[in-house]
């Protein structure tokens, strides 16, 4: 496919995206080279951890079935507390199983990648009238429930996401957890948070644990109770 007629070509028609590629594409390719990963044809997976304020970038190389950790970014601001987003204006960063559903090269926060909150689970468990929305991974280091990176770092991540979508990945998964859900960390959380929150996190831990060993993502559905099922 010719670049000018591709998703990437359309994105490069925006000045900020063009600037991102000019300034950061070499750095992005270097991340791949340093890990011995192929830059051509890859798919992307993002995992965020609120307590640690980290965003992991995982890559699935063309022709392979296991993801490899490419890079890790720091959040540059946070809002709310540990626990899921349940209503508009609660300042919470969502927790759950999401995907990128919007590329915004004209964002007020430089560049932004939209997350499909509220998802099927949130629509069951959150405020039915006003669950909130417009959740993004973006630049500009401010947040009232989004995941902000610096402008320099969102340039890199945006390039990766554009490349993945241009490679045919229509759904880029984004898993957002309260923390890295190791046995030790989860035991600590249980001693601090209410039972209802812990029950939700136990459900998320199933997803966390399922990826940890094989580094594969299985299909995930939501049942009538709003619980995630593999």
pLDDT digits (tens, 9 = 90+) for 174-194: 999 999 999 999 999 999 999
Determine the pLDDT at residue 4. 57
Regarding pTM above 0.75, the answer is yes
- For residues 127 and 148, what is the distance between their CA atoms, to the nearest angstrom? 24
pLDDT digits (tens, 9 = 90+) for 6-17: 999 999 999 999
- According to DSSP, the residues that pair with 45 across neighbouring strands are 58
Average pLDDT (115-120) is 98
pLDDT digits (tens, 9 = 90+) for 196-212: 999 999 999 999 999 99
Check whether 2 has a pLDDT greater than 70: no
Q: How many residues make up the chain in this entry? A: 230
Contacts of 1 by beta carbon, 8 Å cutoff, 6+ apart? none
Q: Is 161 in contact with 174 (CB distance < 8 Å)?
A: no
- For residues 38 and 62, what is the distance between their CA atoms, to the nearest angstrom? 8
1 falls in which pLDDT band (50, 70, 90)?
A: very low
pLDDT digits (tens, 9 = 90+) for 131-167: 999 999 999 999 999 999 999 999 999 999 999 999 9
């Amino acid at each position: 496919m010719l670049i000018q007629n591709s998703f990437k070509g359309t994105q490069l028609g925006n000045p900020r995206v063009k600037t991102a590629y000019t300034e950061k594409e070499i750095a992005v390719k270097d991340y791949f080279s340093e890990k011995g990963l192929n830059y051509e044809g890859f798919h992307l997976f993002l995992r965020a951890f609120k307590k640690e304020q980290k965003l992991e970038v995982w890559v699935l190389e063309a022709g392979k079935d296991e993801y490899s950790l490419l890079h890790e970014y720091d959040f540059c601001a946070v809002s709310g507390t540990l626990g899921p987003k349940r209503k508009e204006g609660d300042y919470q960063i969502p927790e759950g199983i999401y995907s990128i559903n919007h590329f915004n090269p004209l964002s007020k926060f430089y560049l932004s990648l939209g997350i499909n909150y509220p998802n099927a689970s949130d629509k069951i468990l959150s405020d039915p009238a006003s669950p909130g929305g417009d959740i993004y991974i973006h630049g500009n280091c401010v947040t009232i429930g989004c995941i902000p990176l610096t402008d320099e770092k969102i340039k890199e991540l945006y390039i990766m996401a554009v490349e993945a979508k241009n490679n045919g990945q229509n759904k880029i998964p984004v898993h957002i957890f309260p923390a890295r859900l190791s046995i030790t960390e989860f035991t600590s959380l249980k001693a601090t948070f209410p039972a209802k929150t812990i029950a939700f996190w136990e459900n998320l831990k199933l997803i966390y644990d399922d990826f940890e060993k094989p580094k594969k993502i299985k299909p995930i559905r939501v049942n009538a109770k709003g619980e995630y099922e593999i």
